[in-house]
């Protein structure tokens, strides 16, 4: 159970880091009055940017899968030709 929680925490940290890097999240602070000693922290989530990045990854995965399938078929055809010659 502790290992599962550790993995989930690590996954959360990774998603948060990638999200900050890619612009999915932004954090801003706003200090109150000098004698107030309060700091306001705001977290902004850009859902559109995250969805756009997900779609880009999906499109790239489909493209790479199609390229790999074409290469496998090409190699398979070459192997068939090689065995026919023997």
The predicted structure's pLDDT at residue 24? 93
The pTM (predicted TM-score) of the whole model is 0.59
Q: Where are the alpha helices (DSSP H) in the chain?
A: 2-22, 47-85
Q: Average pLDDT of the chain?
A: 90
Residue 70 has pLDDT above 80, yes or no: yes
Q: How far apart are the C-alpha atoms of 40 and 7, rounded to whole Å?
A: 31
| pLDDT at 86 exceeding the cut of 70 | no
Residues in Cβ contact with 24 at an 8 Å cutoff, skipping those fewer than 6 apart:
18, 45, 46, 49, 50, 53
> Could you report the per-residue pLDDT of 34-52, keeping only the tens digit for each?
677 788 899 999 999 999 9
> Is the separation of the CB atoms in 30 and 39 below 8 Å?
yes
Rounded mean pLDDT of 3-24? 93
Q: Does residue 10 have a pLDDT over 90?
A: yes
């Amino acid at each position: 159970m502790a290992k599962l929680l550790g993995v989930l925490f690590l996954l959360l940290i990774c998603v948060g880091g990638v999200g900050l890097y890619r612009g999915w999240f932004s954090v801003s602070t706003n200090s109150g009055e000098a004698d107030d000693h309060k700091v306001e922290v705001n977290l902004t989530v850009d859902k559109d940017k995250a969805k756009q990045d997900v779609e880009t990854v999906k499109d790239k995965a489909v493209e790479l899968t199609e390229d790999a399938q074409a290469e496998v078929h090409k190699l398979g055809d070459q192997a068939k030709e090689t065995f026919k010659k023997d």
